[in-house]
Amino acid sequence: MPKTLLFIADPLESFKTHKDSTFTMMREAARRGHRLLACEPRQMHWQRGGPVRAAVREIVLTGRSGYGVHDWFETVTERTMPLHEADAVLMRKDPPFDSEFFYATHLLSQAEREGARVFNKPSALREHPEKLAILEFPQFIGPTLVTRSAADVRAFHAEHRDIICKPLDGMGGMGIFRVGADGMNLGAIVETLNRDGATTLMVQKYLPAIRDGDKRVLVIGGVPVPFSLARIPQGGEVRGNLAAGGKGVARPLTERDREIAGTLGPILAARGLLLVGLDVIGDSLTEINVTSPTCFREILDQTGCDVPALFVDALEAALAS
C-alpha cells in the first residue's frame, strides 16, 4: 500500500541529482507509488497544546536529473501539517551536527511521542555523533585520541610520529590536517582546531592505506550492502572525501569490511539506525555516519547494485512491523 513519506532535508533546489542519495531514495519511493513530502528542519515548529508541525510541500518528480539539473521536481501543494500524519519521517539533513541539528532531533523525538515514525531514530542520532561513535568499538579502530589538551596531542604525535587531526563537527573532509614526523605546524593546527583548549578534537594515527581509498560501507537494516565506495585521494591530498576531490571507486566488500559491518550492523539497527555509513581505511574503522549517509548513486551506477531499492525495501519492512 502506498505510504506518505516526509523527507526533512536541505533545500530541494540545492540537490545535485547526479550524485544525491536522498534524490535516489525519493525516485525509488515514487516508482513504487509512495507520496513524497519535503521540508527543511527550520520549517518544523511546536506550540503548547498541539503536535510538532512543519510547513511541507508535496512534490512529484519530473523525470529529469543529472549534472546541473534543477527542475527535477514540481511542487503540487504546500501546507502545514503534524509530522505524525506522515507514515514515515526521514531525517536527511546533511551535517554539520551543530546545535540546530541537535534541537531538531528533540522536536523529532516529541513527534515520535505523538505517533510519528522517524528514520533514523532521533535519540540514536543524538547518541551517535559521527566521529565519537567509534569509541564504542575499540577492537576495530586504529590509535585514536580525543582531547582538548595540546600537551596530549603533542604526546600522541611523539608516539606515533605521523598523525591526522580533525574537528569533531566537520564533514566532507573539512578541517582535516596531517602532521608528519617533523611536527611541522602542529602547534598552529592544534590552536586552530581546539581554540586554546575551548574545543575538543580527534587525533588518529595516519593510516597509509588511505592511498587505496577511504571506504564507505553502507549498512541498511543491519545488513551491509555488498559493495563499498572507496574514495581515493587525488594529487597531493590526504583526504579521500568526494567533497574534497576524491575519486569514488566501487568495490566488493573485503573480509574485514564484512567483519566490521557484521558486528556493528545488528547493534546499530536495534537502536533505531535504519541506515548507517561506516568509514573504513584499510582494516580500521574511522567514522560511523548516521545523519545523512551517501554514496547510493555511485555504487548503483558502477555496479548495478540497487542501493536505493534496498533502502526502500528496509523502510517498507520497518513500517510494516
287 is catalytic: yes
Q: Nearest Cα to 122, choosing from 169, 90, 100, 96? A: 90
Whether 36 contacts 60, CB under 8 Å: yes
Establish whether 64 is a catalytic residue. no
Strand partners, 226: none
Whether residue 211 lies in the annotated active site: no
Query: Is 216 marked active-site?
Result: yes
Write out pLDDT tens, residues 222-271: 999 999 999 998 766 665 566 656 789 999 999 999 999 999 999 999 99
d(CA 22, CA 98): 20
Task: State the cell numbers at 310.
Answer: 534496498
**Residue 260 near residue 281 (C-beta atoms within 8 A):** no
Higher-confidence residue: 194 or 144?
A: 144
Q: Where are the alpha helices (DSSP H) in 168-243?
A: 186-194
- 279 flagged as catalytic: yes
Domains present along the chain, CATH in parentheses: 4-123 (3.40.50.20), 143-206 (3.30.1490.20), 209-320 (3.30.470.20)
Q: How far is CA 99 from CA 17, 18, 102, 103, 304, in A?
A: 28, 30, 5, 6, 38
The catalytic position among 93, 166, 205, 297 is 166
Note the pLDDT of residue 243.
Answer: 62
Whether 53 is a known active-site residue: answer no
Catalytic residue among 3, 205, 231, 297: 231
Whole-number pLDDT of residue 170:
75
Residues 259, 300 contacting (CB under 8 angstroms)? no
The per-residue pLDDT for 240 is 53
How many percent of the chain have pLDDT more than 90?
85
Other CB atoms within 10 Å distance of the CB of residue 215: 28
Instruction: Tell me what the pLDDT averaged over the chain comes to.
Output: 94
289 annotated active-site? yes
pLDDT tens-digit profile of 105-155? Answer: 999 999 999 999 999 999 999 999 989 999 999 999 999 999 999 999 999
The residue whose grid cell reads 504546500 is: 78
Q: What is the pLDDT of residue 172?
A: 67
